Amino acid sequence: MDTSSHQSDPEKRRRLRWRARRGLLENDLVITRYLDAREALLSDGEVAALASLLELPDNDLLDLIMARTQLGADLDSTAMRGVLDGLRQA
How would you write the pLDDT of the chain (90 residues) with one tens digit per residue? 455 676 677 888 888 889 888 889 999 999 999 999 999 889 989 999 999 999 999 999 999 999 999 999 999 999 999 999 999 999
| One-letter amino acid of 4 | S
Burial of 83 from C-beta contacts in 10 A (0-12 / 13-18 / 19+): buried
Amino acid residing at 73: A
Asked whether residue 32 is assigned to any structural domain, the reply reads yes
53 belongs to a structural domain: yes
Distance CA 23, CA 48 (A): 21
Domain membership flag for residue 34: yes
Domain that holds residue 49: 10-89
Instruction: Report the first-to-last Cα separation within the chain, whole angstroms.
Output: 33
What CATH number did the domain enclosing 70 receive?
1.10.150.250
1 within some domain = no
**Residues 41 and 34 sit within 8 Å (Cβ to Cβ):** no
Mean of all residue pLDDT scores within the chain: 89
Q: Is residue 4 part of a domain?
A: no
**What is the domain count for the chain?**
1
Q: Is residue 2 part of a domain?
A: no
